[in-house]
Chains A and B, each alone.
Chain A
């Protein structure tokens, strides 16, 4: 027992995200078990599968939690012997959920979460500053949902997703000796979630869920050029060096198949498979209102950067052991794929194949639960040759996450 806690404590020293800018941190308890999905113990299941709320063992359940993410990415260029590393602020994804059984067979719920984002701060003068100096991408998902028990052992749930988000992106404009800021605080998008949750017997939970892609549309972006005033008119900027832009950032869809099996009344194991539709992010198009800063021959106000993301998979394996009726220990491991090949490495969303070890503990007292979790992300260093930018080098990263979650099953 003591050993396990010690192991867990060591492991919880560390955590990260891979897979583009999907941040898989929507449940503290779930993270401790590799962020697997088939856990209908409280309202935190709402994000993972709207159908899961039908199987929460109380009429009203609320859950909330937050994480700290600490990441550091190091870049080196063997040809020039340059080396830079990021100075990222601590990321803080949060979530909250509530679920209520209107009748035995009909539940409603609501989930708030921050499933996508990227905060990377490379510095003003690092090697890839023409691409990104620092960037902050945020997305907030608001999901009202309903779930219907089709039979005592199966439910069907659906959710509507309304997402808001922001982008704040700085980069160099080396040729003009200045910088460019791209900002939009009012991006938004819509989507939906759909899922089945099965409990064929008391030992087995199976969760099948699909979350649609969400196209975050930034229609009122502002591009601010910090360059010589004398080139404003040539570039098509206004008197403040600004111009408007439009862009769409696709947030990938996700298909999840998960299961939890109670090996003994105290011991359960969980496994998940996720399929992420990152191929939707094959290019990033910035459409400026007037500024002739694009790269398209037929329209110099349009900039298109190839992204060529590929669909990715995540494999998750987690376990929980109840040491007492109220105290749980949890462990997990997952493997998360980077969505792009070495020729498409994007320093604004640095992404590496990652092996992640997770752990956590939970304590239950009557309806109240408190959970702690942590994860360490062993990211595989990689060599890249971004052809579009002729930007070459190697990256390595370390990351760790920690989380604190609360849940309350009222009655």
Chain B
């Protein structure tokens, strides 16, 4: 009896000792979120579309509510962060009625039996909400690096001349204010800066039709699709950071992802022309062989090679090629091709060639490939000239090797600048480029069992425009910012869970 009592007592004692490690060593409910060396009380975010929460080719309220700065701000609020006001769009569709080039968001819909992104009409005219300011999210879709300091970038009178941006016009504090000025006026204690994507992106998304303004230090002379001179870029970024840190504010700065890691440029392969053996033979006899013979005669035979069964390269226009339209027409005519047809082919193929494996076809080309060049309708059995296969797609739909080299050179220069400035000014640094490369790898980025990749639509991270992210993609970005902030300033901001935000919406 006594023995039993003793053993029962021993067991109970044992139970109480082992019960100690049944609990968490650190329970999240007992740990405070801290700001470390940073002060999050007044956080402002500066940037472009990515900062604004733009996605699906539009800025709309659901997207804004999942902008990466709003996610960061919410975590900062756990550690003394202040309120974070965004210049909310008046609707959930986006776009501006009456302003060309500002459609509503893309949605996934069934088109001809398969799912495709479909544009919607803009939902409302340009509004003005400047009286509701100041706004802490100062991300302006379309802004290039030098735009943030441009006085009058929010002046409605400048819209028609392209000197103002409607997204900034909406909330600019005055007709002469600048984005940077509106940020500084709030005496921010903390800032994030991610700008420069558009300094190369508009060149890239326009198929390299602009100019690489290397050495041109006057941005006022740039066209909208030009690449900003890296020297100009370094100057303006340095100026922004100097101004923003003048009063001791801390901040975080992110570099620029290379365009080759985003689906807008990787969705359509260079060899997107599938052909059967019969089709290939017909094309070779009817077009490729006579064309190659004529071009060879003109000393440019390498532009075109015969097609074969399987996937074949897309026919593109490369404006750096010598325009052989007249000569081509003459040679074809001389070889017996009817004059009208010779002229048609000569005109079309003057600067045409087949794409190579190190070149990119833009997502926008997917709406053109397979279209009959003469009718503008989907090709039929009788179509002779089909975009991509037997008729070159426009120069604005592809990026050639040289154009990619320009982009790569500029991005590398920008990113060197950003890293140097981050180091010099003691800012937290986000390697957004590396994260996008990771995302575009085959293994992608996993979070709690959900795998994100840069694959269009199904990858989950990129929105339907192939350039901007989904809420989940922005959350992955927000986490990179948070990690960089925590590492630099010894704060303990929690990460966000990307899976909790919205991805691509299926109908």
A residues near B (Cβ < 8 Å) are 1, 3-4, 7, 11, 76-83, 125, 127-131, 172, 174-177, 227-228, 230-231, 234, 267, 319, 321, 329, 331, 333, 355, 357, 376, 378-381, 389-391, 394, 396-398
Contact = CB atoms under 8 A, between A and B. Distances in A.
A135 B38 CA distance: 44
Interface string B482-507: 00000000000011110110011111
A10 to B, nearest CB: 8
A175 B27 contact: no
Contacts of B15: 11, 355, 357, 376, 378
Contact of B28 (A78, A174, A333, A389): A78
A174 B503 contact: yes
A77 to B, nearest CB: 8
A4 B22 CA distance: 25
A228 B18 CA distance: 49
Contact of A231 (B446, B447, B506): B506
A76 B24 contact: yes
A174 B499 contact: yes
Contacts of A376: 15
Given A7-B8, A76-B28, A130-B449, 8 more contacts: A80-B496, A82-B28, A128-B448, A174-B450, A380-B22, A381-B23, A390-B449, A391-B449
A378 B495 CA distance: 31
Contacts of B506: 176-177, 227-228, 230-231
B8 A230 contact: no
A78 B33 CA distance: 11
Interface in B357-409: none
A158 to B, nearest CB: 36
Interface residues of B, number: 43
A11 B448 CA distance: 37
Contacts of B322: none
B493 to A, nearest CB: 10
Contacts of B1: 1, 321
A398 to B, nearest CB: 7
A81 B450 contact: no
Prevailing SS type, chain A contact patch: mixed
Contacts of B18: 355, 378, 380
Interface string B139-169: 0000000000000000000000000000000
A358 B255 CA distance: 60
Contacts of A391: 448-449
B8 A331 contact: yes
Interface of B: 1, 3-5, 7-8, 11-12, 14-15, 18-19, 21-29, 33, 110, 115, 446-451, 458, 460, 494-497, 499-500, 503-507
A396 B22 contact: yes
A357 B450 contact: no
Which 10 pairs show the lowest CB-CB distances between chains A and B?
Answer: A130-B449, A228-B506, A390-B446, A389-B449, A81-B494, A355-B18, A174-B450, A175-B460, A131-B449, A79-B495
Contacts of B28: 76-78, 81-83
Contacts of B496: 80
B505 A130 contact: no
Given A76-B28, A230-B507, A394-B24, A321 B4 contact: yes
A384 B446 CA distance: 16
B317 to A, nearest CB: 33
A7 B494 contact: no
Contacts of A172: 499
Nearest to B459: A175
Nearest to B446: A390
Contacts of A80: 494-497
Nearest to A178: B506
A137 B505 CA distance: 33
A130 B24 contact: no
A83 B499 contact: no
A396 B26 contact: no
A236 to B, nearest CB: 14
10 contacts: A7-B12, A81-B494, A82-B497, A83-B29, A177-B503, A228-B507, A230-B507, A321-B4, A333-B14, A396-B24
Nearest to A3: B5
Given A79-B495, A80-B496, A329 B24 contact: no
Nearest to A381: B24
Contacts of B460: 174-175
Contact of B4 (A125, A329, A394): A329
Contact of B27 (A1, A76, A355, A379): A76
A331 B6 CA distance: 12
B8 A175 contact: no
B494 A357 contact: no
A328 to B, nearest CB: 11
B115 A130 contact: no
Looking at B4, B110, B447, B500, the one whose CB has the most chain A CB atoms below 10 A away is B4
Contacts of B448: 127-131, 389-391
Nearest to A386: B449
B216 to A, nearest CB: 44
Contact of A319 (B7, B29, B458): B7
Contacts of A234: 115
Contacts of A231: 115, 506
Contacts of A11: 12, 15
Contacts of A79: 494-495
Looking at A125, A228, A376, the one whose CB has the most chain B CB atoms below 10 A away is A228
A363 B19 CA distance: 31
A77 B26 CA distance: 11
A380 B24 contact: no
B449 A381 contact: no
A175 B450 contact: yes
Contacts of B3: 267
B22 A333 contact: no
A81 B14 CA distance: 32
Contacts of B19: 378
A4 B4 contact: yes
Contact of A381 (B12, B21, B451, B504): B21
A230 B3 CA distance: 71
A231 B24 CA distance: 42
Contacts of B14: 333, 355, 357
B5 A381 contact: no
A267 B504 CA distance: 68
A381 B25 contact: yes
A230 B110 contact: yes
A398 B19 CA distance: 10
Contacts of A83: 28-29
Contacts of B25: 381
A344 to B, nearest CB: 13
A81 B1 CA distance: 50
A122 to B, nearest CB: 12
A39 to B, nearest CB: 18
Contacts of A128: 448-449
B12 A130 contact: no
B428 to A, nearest CB: 17
Given A130-B448, A390-B449, A177 B26 contact: no
Contacts of B458: 175
A146 B450 CA distance: 51
Contacts of A129: 448, 499
B443 to A, nearest CB: 10
Contacts of A230: 110, 115, 506-507
Given A80-B495, A390-B447, A331 B7 contact: yes
Contact of A380 (B12, B21, B450, B451): B21
Contacts of A7: 8, 12
A227 B458 CA distance: 14
Contacts of B500: 125
Nearest to A357: B15
Given A130-B449, A333-B11, A390-B447, A78 B115 contact: no
A79 B446 CA distance: 15
B29 A127 contact: no
Contacts of A267: 3-4
